[in-house]
Structure 1
């Protein structure tokens, strides 16, 4: 049984119906969470070592690494039944949109550092790190996530049902799932 099927089978109603109805958004959020962790690990790893004087550059590199992971997970899991474009066209659009998302992600960090001067020597190191985390790690991520979900559905993976489902994903459709009773189905 797939991970998603297991979780759905153990989820009580009406939450199960809500999760099934918004499964694409849920999967996108899970991929986003994974990529957020990758971004934070790479960003802080770089900015605390070899890019200590270039935190925005470190953040851009981290987001690029996470974006590559995001493409694979988005195409093969989050939006696996969507398509409508040749793979090379889809990939090009994905990375163009992701490039805009990188810019959106770093804008709050740039604002924090260079407009509000929330960087040393103007503030203490702990204050700088908290500001970087709040502005870049949280606010930047929220802004770019909203943009990416909308843009990916609109331009990269525009056609719902364009690709066949792979594997055993019956729990994603309540009417086909042996784990979802008929009286639990979404109307």
Structure 2
């Protein structure tokens, strides 16, 4: 990997982590308001998976906008519906990772409350989901496509005769 490519990868990874940090804050705040509110028992205390799903969906909107317009802003991305489909598909898988961690902690290990729910669903689950998202967004959702070169007349230059 060339020095320029390494610098670009480092910049992209840093931007991804900043966006992920913002999404983490959205996820954390929304989940805790819904599940624990101020009194310890929020409106969705007995339904933490639903509270976490709502939080993740809102945080996913933050990640899409941030990653599309900042992390991967240097990439020429032709408008394709398949990109949105892939984004939704990969986010459903990432949501499954987060919810799986929360559900395992809450229903299998019988750990309940703000600390175990946030460790399992918000810290561990989101760490796994973030790694998954970075790998899939970079390769599939926001792939690098070369911009077509234009000739003097403005028509794309074709490499085939």
TM-score bracket for this pair, using the shorter chain length? 0.7 to 0.9
Q: Do residues 132 (structure 1) and 117 (structure 2) align?
A: yes
Equivalence for 1:40:
28
Q: Do residues 66 (structure 1) and 59 (structure 2) align?
A: yes
1:118 pairs, out of 89, 92, 111, with 111
TM-score, length-scaled by structure 2: 0.78
Output the CA distance in 2 between the equivalents of 1:21 and 1:36. Answer: 22
Output the CA distance in 1 between the equivalents of 2:103 and 2:122. Answer: 12
TM-score, length-scaled by structure 1: 0.68
Output the CA distance in 2 between the equivalents of 1:86 and 1:147. Answer: 23
Shift of 1:51: 1.1
Equivalence for 1:94:
87
**Structure-to-structure mapping, 1:1-187, within 5 angstroms:** 21-48=9-36, 49-119=42-112, 128-159=113-144
Output the CA distance in 1 between the equivalents of 2:125 and 2:57. Answer: 14
Output the CA distance in 1 between the equivalents of 2:118 and 2:7. Answer: 29
- CA shift digits 1:107-143 (9 cap, x unpaired): 1111101111112xxxxxxxx3211111111100110
Equivalence for 1:9:
none
Q: Which runs of 4+ in 1 moved over 4 A?
A: 18-21, 160-163
Root-mean-square deviation over aligned CA pairs = 2.1
Number of matched pairs: 139
Relative contact order (C-alpha < 8 Å, sep 6+): which is higher?
Answer: 1
Output the CA distance in 1 between the equivalents of 2:9 and 2:67. Answer: 18
3-state SS in 1 of match to 2:44: coil
Unmatched 5+ residue regions in structure 2?
A: 1-5, 37-41, 149-161
Unmatched 5+ residue regions in structure 1?
A: 1-17, 120-127, 164-187
After the TM superposition, which of the residue ranges 19-28 and 106-115 deviates more from structure 2? 19-28
Equivalence for 1:177:
none
